[in-house]
Structure 1
Amino acid sequence: MASTVAAYHEKLKEMSMLSVLCSCLYSQPHRNSIYHYGDMEVKPMNKCASGQSFEVILKAPADLSTDPPQYLTLAPMKKDVSLDDLQKRLEAAEERRKCQEAQVLRQLAERREHERGVLHKALEENNNFSKMAEERLSYKMEVSKENREAYLHALKQRLHEKEAHAAEVRRNKELQAELSG
């Protein structure tokens, strides 16, 4: 017990007052801590009515490991890149660029063929419409020519009928004039 008190006494000299108060509340490490910093653990407290609160838990000196903290370890050094590796990477990048370019050209060609197809179809429909309109017009012209011819024929026939009737009326008048005179 005396060694624990001495260890805490040494820690108190190094820590801030807030850390001291928090470590006094709960001195045993907890498995639900959210952050490890050297010989301390920070754990959130759920029972606080005025906002967030945290516990700072100090580990005993015997629990400390000699390994440096993970945040202090350096990233592994990159190996030296050789000229052959750079050349291979450049060739691979060039190959990817060529593949992408070929794919874009294929898509453009497909789009161009589609547009040609649409244009061809539109021209075909336009030609069909023009032919149909021309056929309708020629049909109407033929019908109107036939109608005109039929009308003229009917007029001529009526004229012949009237001339025949007029000739008969003249003959009847001549016969009547001969008989009366």
Structure 2
Amino acid sequence: MTLGGLNNRLLFLLVLETGKFRIKVPADEASGLSLSQLIVQNTLPVACLLFTMASSDIQVKELEKRASGQAFELILSPRSKESVPEFPLSPPKKKDLSLEEIQKKLEAAEERRKSHEAEVLKQLAEKREHEKEVLQKAIEENNNFSKMAEEKLTHKMEANKENREAQMAAKLERLREKDKHIEEVRKNKESKDPADETEAD
């Protein structure tokens, strides 16, 4: 059998069936190439599959060599039965579950669902508790700030009041001192006036 007109898939099937096929290579392609290079070049990708699947060596038989080209035959040695891998025709059939096993699976799934739900609720509760603590802390800090501001304002107002009272007391004291000084001057003047009148007479 030759390569002429056969696609790689059909050629591969024929090789597996007969164990050999023939190849003719034109002269322009055969020039300067060794026999093994010709085989590989003209049988890829089939040759790759043959080399991997063959259980023993491949025999190459040169048929003819002319000016127009070259022909040779590849002969596959029979594959041993031990080398043939055994593949299951169909996947192993799953074991039929009993009603009790199905019930156990359903119960286990329900337990997982409840456990997951409980975990979610726990996380939500912890989140709410954390938010509550943060809010409470913010309220306390605000109250403390307001209290401190109020105390500071009260202290400032008391200090201003005491300062004003001290200033008023100082002014009153100065006024009293001034009135006292005026009264003393007046008395001194009155006590000196009769004597002056007597001397004048």
Shorter-chain TM band = 0.5 to 0.7
- Aligned equivalents of 1:140, 1:113: Cα separation in 2: 40
> 111, 120, 138: which one pairs with 2:127?
111
Aligned equivalent of 1:52: none
Match for 1:162: what amino acid?
K
Candidates 140, 144, 166, aligned match of 1:124? 140
TM-aligned CA distance change 1:59 to 1:129, over 3 Å: farther
Stretch moving more, 80-89 or 115-124? 80-89
- Please give the alpha-carbon distance, in whole angstroms, between the structure 2 residues aligned to 1:135 and 1:161: 39
- Greater relative CO, 1 or 2 (CA 8 Å, sep 6+): 2
Cα distance per residue 1:62-92 (max 9 Å; x no partner): 435474554x643211122333222221111
1:92 and 2:108 correspond:
yes
Indicate the SS of the match to 1:78: coil
Q: Which runs of 4+ in 1 moved over 6 A?
A: none
> What TM-score, normalized by structure 1, do the two folds share?
0.65
Where do 5+ consecutive residues of structure 1 fail to align?
1-6, 25-32, 42-57
The 1:40/1:73 distance shift into structure 2, 3 A limit, reads farther
Counterpart position of 2:67? none
Q: Which residue of 2 aligns with 1:47?
A: none
3-state SS, counterpart of residue 90 of structure 2: coil
- State the partner residue of 2:153: 137
Deviations 1:124-153 (A, max 9, x none): 111211221121111112111111111111
Match of 2:184 in 1: 168
Tell me the residue number matched to 1:102.
118
How far apart in 1 are the matches of 2:140 and 2:53?
Answer: 82
For 1:102-123, what per-residue CA distance to the aligned partner results, in whole angstroms no more than 9, with x for missing partners? 1111111111111111112111
Q: Identity, % of aligned pairs?
A: 49
For residue 12 of structure 1, what is the aligned residue in structure 2? 21
TM-score (structure 2 length as normaliser): 0.59
Q: Could you say which structure has the larger radius of gyration?
A: 2
1:37-77 deviations in Å (ceiling 9; x for gaps): 64379xxxxxxxxxxxxxxxx9631435474554x643211
Contact kept? 2:54, 2:76, Cα under 8 Å: yes
Q: CA-atom RMSD, angstroms?
A: 3.7
- Counterparts of 1:90 and 1:36 in 2: how far apart (Å)? 53
* Cα distance in 2 for residues equivalent to 1:59 and 1:125: 92
Q: Distance in 2 between matches of 1:63 and 1:78?
A: 33
Contact 1:39 1:64 in 2 (8 A): no
Q: How many residues are matched?
A: 146
